[in-house]
Structure 1
Amino acid sequence: MAKTAGIGEGTIFKYFKNKAGLLQAVLAPITSTLIPNFQHDVLVQLKGQSYPSSLAFCQSLMTERLQFLRQNWYLMALVLDQLLVNPPLREQLQQFATTNGNQAFITEFNQLLDHYFPTNITYQTFLLEVCRLLFGEYFKLMTVNRDNFDWETESQKLGAQLNIYLTM
C-alpha cells in the first residue's frame, strides 16, 4: 500500500499505529458518509418515480443496487470481509438499520413501503431481505465471469424474489 501511494512504510505508521488502525481509517468514511449518502440516493430514486406495482418498485431498486455492486466490487469485498471479523464495523452498520440517528429516513422509507406493500413491511425487514439477496448475488458473482454476467436479467430476478418475499 505504501508503495502504491509512493511513500515509505514508516510514513504510514507515523499516522497509524498498526494495520488495524489504517483499516479503520479506510472504513470510517464508509459508515459515516457513504452509507447515509447511499440511503439518501435510494430514497430520492424511489420517491422520484411512480411504480405501477410492488414488483416494479422492487425491480427498480434491485437494478440500481446491483449496478452499485458492479461499480463498487472491490469496496464491497473489503466491507464484507470486515463484517465477518470486525465487531465495531458490524455495530456501526447495525445502527443504520435501526432508528439510531436515522429516524427521518426510516419514516420516509416506511411511507414508501406502506404504499407498495399493504402487509405492513418495515424498513428493517426490507433492508435485511435486500441485503440477503445482494450478498447472495455477490457470492454467486465471485464464482462466475462477471464480464459474461447478464446484469439486467439477474436484477429483474432479484426484484421478483424480493417482491415475492415481501408480499407473502
Structure 2
Amino acid sequence: MSKHNLLDAMIAQAKLSKKQTNKQQKIVETAIKMFAEKGYANTSTSEIAKAAQVAEGTIFRHYGTKDNLLLSVILPFLKESLPTIAEEVFTEVMSKNVVCFEDFLRALLKNRIAFIKENKEIFQIVIKEFLYNENLRNELLPYFSETIGHRLTKVIETYKQRGELVDIPNNIILRLMFTFIGGYFVSRFVLLPEISLMDEEAEIDTAIHFIMNGIKKQSQGG
C-alpha cells in the first residue's frame, strides 16, 4: 500500500471503525472502491448494493442518500487524518533543499501534484462536492484552516523575516496563495484535465513565477 494512497487509507480506517456494523463497513468499502473506479456521479446506490451484497434499502436506511454515504466516508477520514497528513507533507517538503521561498513553493507543488495524481478520482469527488455542498464546506474549512493554514502562515512569516516576501498581512498572502494554487489544481485535475500546454516541470516553473511576480512585465531598468 502506498503511503500516499487515500483509497487504501480510507478503507483501512473504515475497517477500524467501531461505530459501524459489518454491513455498514462492507457498504462503505464497496462505495469507496466504486466511486474511485467509476466516478461518484456514475455510481448508483443499486450498483453499490449489488457489489456489497446487501439490499438497496439497507443503504437508504443507514445513509438516506448517496450524498450522505459519501460524506459519511470522507468527513470522518479527513477530520481524523488531516493533521497527520499536513504534518507529513510539510516535514517532507521542508526536508528538500529548501533555501528560499521559491524552493518551498516548488517542493510543495511537486509534492501535491504527485499526491493528486495518485488520488485523482477521490480528489475530483471531494472538490466537486466541496464546491456545491455547503454542509461539507462548513465541516471541512475549520480543519483546513487549523492544519494547513496554520503551518503555511508560519512558513510565510519565516520568509517575510528573511526579507523575501512583501510586508503585507500574512492572511492576505495566504488567501492569495490558496486562491491561485487551489484554482490551479482544480483547473488541472477537475475542470480542464485534458489541457496541457507544457511539460510538468515547465508548468510548475511558470506557476511559481506567476505567484512571485504576477503578470506585469518588469521594466529593463527595474
The normalised TM-score by structure 1 is 0.74
Residue 29 of structure 1: aligned partner: 76
Superposed, 1:1-168 pairs within 5 Å as 1-98=48-145, 102=146, 106-116=149-159, 117-120=164-167, 121-122=170-171, 123-139=174-190, 141-144=192-195, 150-165=199-214
Matched residue type, 2:127 = L
Q: Secondary structure at the match of 2:123?
A: helix
Report which of the two has the higher share of helix: 1
Cα distance, 1:77 vs structure 2: 1.3
Is the contact between residue 63 and residue 69 of structure 2 (CA under 8 Å) also seen in structure 1? yes
Identity of aligned residues (%): 20
Q: Hey, what's the Cα distance between the residues in 2 that align with 1:6 and 1:155?
A: 45
Q: Which moved more, 1:57-66 or 1:83-92?
A: 83-92
Change (3 A) 1:90 1:156: same
Is the contact between residue 129 and residue 136 of structure 2 (CA under 8 Å) also seen in structure 1? yes
Q: 5+ unaligned residues in a row in structure 2: which ranges? A: 1-47, 215-222
The normalised TM-score by structure 2 is 0.58
What do you get for the CA RMSD once the two structures are aligned?
2.9
Runs (4 or more) in structure 1 with deviation over 6 Å come to none
Q: Which moved more, 1:68-77 or 1:155-164?
A: 155-164
The aligned length equals: 158
Is the contact between residue 51 and residue 57 of structure 1 (CA under 8 Å) also seen in structure 2? yes
Cα distance, 1:40 vs structure 2: 1.8
Residue 40 of structure 2: aligned partner: none
Cα distance, 1:108 vs structure 2: 4.2
**What are the Cα deviations for residues 131-162 of structure 1, in whole angstroms up to 9, with x where unaligned?**
122112224652349xxx84444334333333
**What are the Cα deviations for residues 95-144 of structure 1, in whole angstroms up to 9, with x where unaligned?**
2343xxx27x6454323222334324444443333212211222465234
Matched residue type, 2:52 = A
Change (3 A) 1:96 1:125: farther
Cα distance, 1:60 vs structure 2: 0.8
Matched residue type, 1:11 = T
